[in-house]
Structures are given as C-alpha cells and as structure tokens.
Amino acid sequence: MRKIAVAMAKGGVGKTTTAVNLAHDLALQGQRVLLVDCDTQDQVAKFLGVKPAYGLYEFITGRNGKGEPVLKKEAVCPARENLWILAGGIKLVELKYWLGEQPRERRHALLSQSIVPKGDSLDFLIFDCAPGWDLLSVNILMAAQEVLCPVSLQAPALEGLKTFFQYLVSAQKQNNQLALKYVVPTLFDRRTRQSIDLYRKLKRLFTRQICDPIRYNVRLSEAPADGKTIFEFDPRATGAEDYRKLSRRLIDDGIRAQQVPRFF
Ligand SMILES: Nc1ncnc2c1ncn2[C@@H]1O[C@H](COP(=O)(O)OP(=O)(O)OP(=O)(O)O)[C@@H](O)[C@H]1O
Ligand SMILES: [Mg+2]
C-alpha cells in the first residue's frame, strides 16, 4: 500500500481538488483507496457529496463527542466503489489537542499504525492536508511515505515554497521513508506569461518530480457544488483529462517499483 500526503503550506492551491479527483480516478482504475481529510474545513465529504456520521477524530480516538465507543469500521465512510473516506471537520481541533497530550512517539505511531489497515485490503492511502502547519499535518508527514505537492501557477511567485521544502527535509530526518515524489503544477493558464514562467522554473527545480500541469478549468471548480468529481460531472473536461494523466503516472510508478530489474 502506498501512503501519499497531498500537502502544501499555502492555501487554495488545489490540494483538495487534487486529492479527491486523483483518489476517484485511482478507484475507477480498480485501485482500493482510502482518502483521509486532515482539514477542519471538512471539504472532502462535501466534494464527494457524502454525509459521514463519523470521521478521523472518532477513528483515532475510538470515541464520539459524547465519549461513547465508536468502531473503526463505523468511522470509515464508503464514498464510491473502491473509494472510502475518513472525514475531517471541526472535531479535528479536538483531535489536535488530544494528540498534543499523547507522548511524542505514541503520536507518530497513532497515525502511522492505526490508519493503516491490516493485510493488503488497500492500495492507496491518501491524506488531504490542511494549509499551514499544525500538529496534525506534522504527524501526517510521519505517517506518509510519499509527498505530492500541488503548486499554484497563479501565485505571484514561488513564495513559501522554499520554506515548505526545507520543512520537508527536516521531516525526513524523523521519517526516513518520506520522499517528495510529485510536484503538480495547478491552475495552469497557458495564455499567461506568469503560468509559463513558473512552470519552466518548477521543471528546472524538480526534474524528477515534476508532473504535467493541471490546467485551469472552470468545470473543476463547479463539480464540488454538485457533490461530484470531475469524472462524474464532466468526464470530457480538460480537468478530467489532466487528473487521469496524473493517476496513470502514479499507477505506472507503482508497477515499475514492483518490477525486479533484469540484468540478462
Ligand atoms: N485546475 C483548477 N481550475 C479551476 N479551479 C480550480 C482548479 N483547482 C482548484 N480550483 C478551485 O480553486 C479553489 C481552491 O481549490 P482547493 O480547495 O482544492 O484548494 P486547497 O489547496 O485544498 O485549499 P485549502 O488550502 O483551503 O485547503 C476551489 O474553489 C477549487 O474549485
Ligand atoms: Mg483543501
């Protein structure tokens, strides 16, 4: 199973749009995916049009708001065929306090071990991280193996990127399995000089990690209001085409990683 954190400290760069559409296309390709919403904004459930009773808070603590026991399987919400979610929401504020009270080693173990299902029942565990840095985001990076960073090509500059990547390097010191695997340029508008220049810069900086850009596509911003992914809302939109390409790349990398190199 691959554990991928969709993370970027800057807000509004397309983290949730990427996590949801990528997760759904992987599920459509037959991969079994658990998408974990690590944000108090609770966007993942809204984007998918589901109303889970419980979520990540109950899954980790084993209790609901009234202190009653909740089973892990009750906290996981089926969202589509092959796709399950652990919802975020305002309860995550309490989860952060609760995590803060746990000893440091236990905190890491809580996320890295308790979310990972037994056996091989999942192919992908995808974390949709919140913007900024808080205790939960930091712990997610201790539980993940791969980081996928959406970078907006609409920002005036690559501001904040350097700090974010420096932070990743320090997280790697504590989790040596963690690797920056994908840099995904988002909100690409080929009519603007800014988009083209920023994309070029990213390609130079991240020769291995750079992915094809996700174009600016108004259909991607309309789909969540209907509780649909782009593959349900408008499968012929450029947004669908771009996210399909991204999920193919992830699947292909997985296949390559499993192949034993042949020397003869
Ligand atoms: N390629 C795109 N084309 C057009 N609109 C997009 C695209 N990607 C994302 N958006 C829109 O941009 C806004 C921000 O996207 P999203 O919520 O995915 O970002 P985020 O990084 O998760 O934000 P936050 O940091 O607040 O969690 C949303 O309204 C979304 O619909
Ligand atoms: Mg988000």
In the numeric block, which tokens belong to residue 135? 């205790």
Domain membership flag for residue 113: yes
Domain membership flag for residue 262: no
Domain membership flag for residue 205: yes
Domain membership flag for residue 237: yes
CA of 173 to the centre of ligand 1 (A): 30
Q: Which atom of ligand 1 is nearest to the CA of 217?
A: 3
pLDDT score at 260: 63
Spatial distance between the Cα atoms of 83 and 63, rounded to a whole number of angstroms? 24
Q: Which atom of ligand 1 is nearest to the CA of 215?
A: 1
User: Count of domains in the chain?
Assistant: 1
CA of 217 to the centre of ligand 1 (A): 11
Going by alpha carbons, the residue nearest to atom 29 of ligand 1 is 221
Q: Which atom of ligand 1 is nearest to the CA of 39?
A: 27
CA of 264 to the centre of ligand 2 (A): 47
Q: Which atom of ligand 1 is nearest to the CA of 150?
A: 21
Whole domain around residue 76: which residue ranges? 2-257
Cα–Cα separations (whole angstroms), residue 157 to 8, 124, 178, 217 = 15, 32, 26, 21
Domain membership flag for residue 263: no
Domain membership flag for residue 11: yes
List per-residue pLDDT tens for the chain, 264 residues long.
999 999 998 899 999 999 999 999 999 999 999 999 999 999 999 999 999 999 999 999 899 988 899 999 999 999 999 999 999 999 999 988 888 888 877 777 777 777 776 667 899 999 999 998 788 888 888 889 999 999 999 876 676 788 888 888 888 988 899 999 999 999 999 999 999 999 999 999 999 999 999 999 999 999 999 999 999 999 999 999 999 999 999 999 988 777 665 555
CATH of the domain at 177: 3.40.50.300
Domain membership flag for residue 264: no
Spatial distance between the Cα atoms of 100 and 150, rounded to a whole number of angstroms? 28
CA of 213 to the centre of ligand 1 (A): 14
pLDDT score at 262: 59
List, chain by chain if needed, residues with CB within 6 Å of any ligand 1 atom: 11-17, 39, 131, 186-187, 214, 216-218, 220-221, 224, 239
